[in-house]
């Protein structure tokens, strides 16, 4: 009896044994050397195998291991889908003057969810949106996508017959890695996808390092705002630039984004950024409602798995760790900075609250370039710039950036010296991944987002010109990319000007420049 109990316990333990953690590596290391060639071959084999299962009978376990099935978990077009049909999407693009992108839907078909499992887990990705009343619905973005990648990776290992295989990540937060890795661009590879921005796919343009800096996110102590800043910031930016634009297939359009193999290395990097943040701010459950939320996926045997996000907080228990989670910032000092003094702009009796230095009311974005003067009292600017860095930061907030329909381009946001627009610093990017989709809000629902950019370094770089002449906020339409060869610049600027849609009625509720004392700066 005792022996039997011991055997049973043994078996239970064997089943519950977590997989040995292995490294999820940065792409350039993953492919390096003879071992790298083996790792890449294993990944390519897995993707090819999953794609070969797309034609399996839709009631089979193999279908649940297919590429299509896994892309469909993120989103899909079809009559049973919250995303609507391919026809809906095409007529939407045509109706708003984006008909030139319809060709990216060639070969994309409506799919019926074949059974109850597919019906319950397809098109369940979590992305934030604003509803008809203008309220923000923040998604369980990090949690859902970590679970998605975890189960996807189990299927990859099964498909490669390789227990050591872990997803590599594309680390575009590193300014030296802004070009899409060449392995994704070889047309004969299973990880190639033709439905990308052609300039990204031929290496003639790269991501913009000013759009992929995540230092502010890492130092943000509040989980939900930090998560939202990544979702609507670098995450959406990469989707909208690798895809031809937003909302266009594959990467730029939520319902089909998971079809591009680079999706998974993009999201592995996003997942790593969460792990980087957790390394600083903790992995322990806090009892927050988002941790209790449960999501469903299937595992490599096609069995439905439903678990709460709190089981996924520590990646080591899931069988992977990232090769770099402790040195993720470009400027580690910014994250580590200990608050030592009050920000000079704040009065001695003030609480640790932001102080508005200058603000502008509603701004309509009716042309590809819009410049807005921001009037800041001279002494306030001088004080803020003179304050020690550790005392706090200066933020530019674009409140309620809204549009009725997709504006057709991204927008680079700059701070410039008033009267001298050549003296400028890019402080961020506005993109619209996940907005205007039927999935979450609906094609007709006006989207609004509030962007907060740390502009301390930008203002210091503009230097005394900024405090004598004053500053301007400049929004410039862009496809988000930087040509890798100079002659590309002029052509790109012209294309972008043409792509901008004034009829999208894009506008900004208000613009605010404020001084934010470091948390803990007050006694
Ligand atoms: Cu995504």
Pick the most confident of 2-11, 303-312, 325-334, 494-503: 303-312
pLDDT exceeds 50 at position 11: no
Across residues 342-362, what is the average pLDDT?
Answer: 67
pLDDT exceeds 60 at position 389: yes
Kindly give the interhelix angle for 67-74 and 141-160, rounded to the nearest 10 degrees.
180
Residue 428 Cα to ligand 1 midpoint, Å, equals 19
Across residues 424-432, what is the average pLDDT?
Answer: 94
Residue 236 Cα to ligand 1 midpoint, Å, equals 7
Residue 37 Cα to ligand 1 midpoint, Å, equals 27
Across residues 485-502, what is the average pLDDT?
Answer: 81
Pick the most confident of 350-359, 368-377, 488-497: 368-377
| Verdict on whether the full-model pTM lies above 0.95 | no
Residue 54 Cα to ligand 1 midpoint, Å, equals 22
| Cα distances (Å, whole numbers) of residue 416 to 82, 431, 467, 506 | 43, 21, 11, 21
Q: Whole-angstrom Cα distance, residue 141 to residue 230? A: 9
Listed range (111-120, 314-323, 346-355) with the worst mean pLDDT? 346-355
Residue 141 Cα to ligand 1 midpoint, Å, equals 9
Q: Whole-angstrom Cα distance, residue 251 to residue 240? A: 7
Listed range (75-89, 147-161, 185-199, 384-398) with the worst mean pLDDT? 384-398
Which residue shows structure tokens 């078909």? 109
pLDDT of residue 289: 97
| Cα distances (Å, whole numbers) of residue 506 to 254, 265, 334, 406 | 21, 32, 33, 9
pLDDT of residue 518: 77
Residue 190 Cα to ligand 1 midpoint, Å, equals 20
Q: What is the pLDDT of residues 156-198, one digit of tens each?
A: 999 999 999 999 999 999 999 999 999 999 999 999 999 999 9
Residue 325 Cα to ligand 1 midpoint, Å, equals 20
- First vs last Cα of the chain: how many Å apart? 64
Listed range (189-198, 381-390, 494-503) with the worst mean pLDDT? 381-390
Residue 502 Cα to ligand 1 midpoint, Å, equals 27
Give 346-384 as a DSSP string. Answer: S-TT--S--EEEEEE--EEE-SSEEEEEE---HHHHHHH
Residue 272 Cα to ligand 1 midpoint, Å, equals 13
Could you tell me if 434 and 136 are in contact, meaning their C-beta atoms sit under 8 angstroms apart? no
Listed range (214-218, 426-430, 433-437) with the worst mean pLDDT? 433-437
Q: What is the pLDDT of residues 16-62, one digit of tens each?
A: 455 689 999 999 999 999 999 999 999 999 999 999 999 999 999 99
Quickly state the pLDDT bin for 440 (edges 50, 70, 90): low
Residue 125 Cα to ligand 1 midpoint, Å, equals 9
pLDDT exceeds 90 at position 484: no
Q: Whole-angstrom Cα distance, residue 17 to residue 24? A: 20
Quickly state the pLDDT bin for 14 (edges 50, 70, 90): very low
Quickly state the pLDDT bin for 348 (edges 50, 70, 90): very low
442 φ/ψ sector (left φ>0, alpha ψ -120 to 50, else beta) = left
Residue 458 Cα to ligand 1 midpoint, Å, equals 28
Residue 424 Cα to ligand 1 midpoint, Å, equals 30
Across residues 247-273, what is the average pLDDT?
Answer: 97
Could you tell me if 214 and 235 are in contact, meaning their C-beta atoms sit under 8 angstroms apart? no
Judge if the upstream peptide bond of residue 116 is cis by omega within 30 degrees of 0: no
Share of the chain above pLDDT 70, in %: 90
Listed range (105-119, 238-252, 435-449) with the worst mean pLDDT? 435-449
Residue 149 Cα to ligand 1 midpoint, Å, equals 11
Residue 352 Cα to ligand 1 midpoint, Å, equals 35
Could you tell me if 292 and 309 are in contact, meaning their C-beta atoms sit under 8 angstroms apart? yes
Across residues 201-207, what is the average pLDDT?
Answer: 95
Residue 431 Cα to ligand 1 midpoint, Å, equals 13
pLDDT of residue 17: 54
pLDDT of residue 439: 63
pLDDT exceeds 50 at position 324: yes
Residue 518 Cα to ligand 1 midpoint, Å, equals 31
- Provide the CA 136 distance to its chain's centre, in angstroms: 17
Across residues 351-359, what is the average pLDDT?
Answer: 85
CB-facing half-sphere around the CA of 90: CA atoms within 13 A: 14
Decide: residue 428, CB within 10 A, 0-12 exposed, 13-18 middle, 19+ buried: buried
Residue 362 Cα to ligand 1 midpoint, Å, equals 30
pLDDT of residue 153: 98
Quickly state the pLDDT bin for 230 (edges 50, 70, 90): very high
Decide: residue 287, CB within 10 A, 0-12 exposed, 13-18 middle, 19+ buried: exposed
Q: Whole-angstrom Cα distance, residue 431 to residue 413? A: 11
| Cα distances (Å, whole numbers) of residue 483 to 123, 203, 266, 338, 486 | 34, 9, 21, 39, 7
Quickly state the pLDDT bin for 442 (edges 50, 70, 90): low
Nearest by Cα to 342 from 414, 391, 293: 391
pLDDT of residue 521: 42
pLDDT of residue 322: 98
Could you tell me if 53 and 62 are in contact, meaning their C-beta atoms sit under 8 angstroms apart? yes
Residue 134 Cα to ligand 1 midpoint, Å, equals 23
pLDDT exceeds 90 at position 273: yes
Residue 183 Cα to ligand 1 midpoint, Å, equals 20
pLDDT exceeds 90 at position 342: no
Residue 127 Cα to ligand 1 midpoint, Å, equals 8
Instruction: Determine how β-strand 294-298 pairs with β-strand 420-430.
Output: unpaired
pLDDT of residue 208: 96
Residue 290 Cα to ligand 1 midpoint, Å, equals 18
Residue 233 Cα to ligand 1 midpoint, Å, equals 11
pLDDT of residue 334: 45
Residue 263 Cα to ligand 1 midpoint, Å, equals 7
pLDDT of residue 32: 98
Nearest by Cα to 374 from 518, 510, 221, 237: 510
Residue 345 Cα to ligand 1 midpoint, Å, equals 39
Which comes out higher in pLDDT, residue 386 or 118?
A: 118
Residue 7 Cα to ligand 1 midpoint, Å, equals 44
């Amino acid at each position: 009896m005792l022996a039997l109990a011991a055997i049973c316990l043994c078996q239970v333990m064997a089943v519950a044994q977590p997989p040995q953690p292995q490294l999820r590596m940065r792409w350039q290391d993953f492919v390096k050397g003879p071992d790298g060639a083996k790792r890449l071959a294993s990944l390519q084999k897995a993707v090819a195998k999953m794609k070969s299962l797309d034609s399996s009978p839709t009631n089979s376990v193999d279908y649940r291991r297919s590429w299509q099935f896994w892309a469909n978990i993120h989103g899909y077009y079809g009559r049973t889908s919250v995303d609507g049909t391919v026809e809906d999407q095409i007529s939407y693009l045509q109706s708003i003057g984006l008909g030139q992108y319809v060709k990216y839907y060639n070969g994309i078909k409506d799919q019926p969810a074949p059974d109850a499992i597919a019906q319950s887990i397809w098109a369940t990705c979590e992305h934030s949106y604003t509803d008809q009343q203008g309220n923000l619905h923040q998604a369980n973005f990090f949690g859902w996508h970590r679970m998605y990648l975890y189960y996807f990776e189990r299927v990859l290992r099964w498909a490669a017959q390789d227990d050591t295989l872990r997803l590599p990540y594309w680390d575009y937060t590193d300014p030296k890695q802004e070009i899409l890795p060449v392995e994704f661009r070889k047309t004969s590879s299973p990880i190639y996808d033709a439905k990308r921005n052609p300039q990204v796919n031929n290496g003639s343009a790269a991501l913009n390092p000013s759009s992929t800096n995540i230092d502010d996110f890492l130092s943000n102590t509040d989980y939900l705002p930090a998560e939202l800043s990544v979702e609507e910031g670098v995450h959406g930016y990469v989707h909208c630039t690798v895809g031809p634009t937003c909302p266009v297939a594959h990467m730029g359009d939520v319902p089909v984004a998971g079809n591009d193999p680079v999706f998974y290395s993009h999201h592995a990097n996003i997942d790593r950024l969460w792990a980087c943040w957790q390394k600083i701010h903790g992995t322990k459950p806090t009892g927050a409602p988002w941790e209790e939320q449960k999501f469903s996926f299937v595992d490599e045997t096609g069995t439905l798995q439903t678990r709460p996000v709190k089981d996924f907080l520590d990646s080591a228990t899931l069988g992977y760790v990232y090769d770099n989670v402790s040195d993720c910032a470009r400027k580690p000092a910014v994250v580590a900075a200990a608050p030592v003094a009050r920000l000079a702009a704040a009065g001695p009796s003030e609480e640790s609250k932001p102080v508005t230095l200058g603000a502008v009311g509603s701004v309509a974005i009716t042309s590809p370039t819009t410049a807005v003067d921001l009037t800041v009292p001279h002494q306030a600017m001088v004080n803020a710039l003179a304050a020690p860095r550790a005392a706090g930061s200066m933020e530019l907030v674009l409140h309620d950036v809204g549009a009725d329909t997709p504006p057709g381009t991204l927008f680079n946001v700059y701070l410039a010296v008033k009267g001298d627009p050549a003296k400028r610093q890019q402080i961020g990017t506005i993109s619209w991944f996940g907005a205007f989709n039927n999935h979450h809000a609906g094609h007709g629902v006006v989207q609004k987002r509030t962007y907060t950019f740390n502009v301390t370094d930008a203002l210091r770089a503009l230097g005394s010109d900024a405090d004598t002449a004053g500053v301007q906020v400049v929004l410039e339409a862009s496809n988000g990319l930087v040509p890798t060869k100079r002659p590309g610049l002029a052509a790109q600027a012209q294309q972008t000007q043409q792509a901008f849609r004034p009829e999208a009625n894009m506008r900004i509720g208000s613009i605010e420049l404020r001084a934010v004392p470091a948390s803990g700066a007050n006694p």
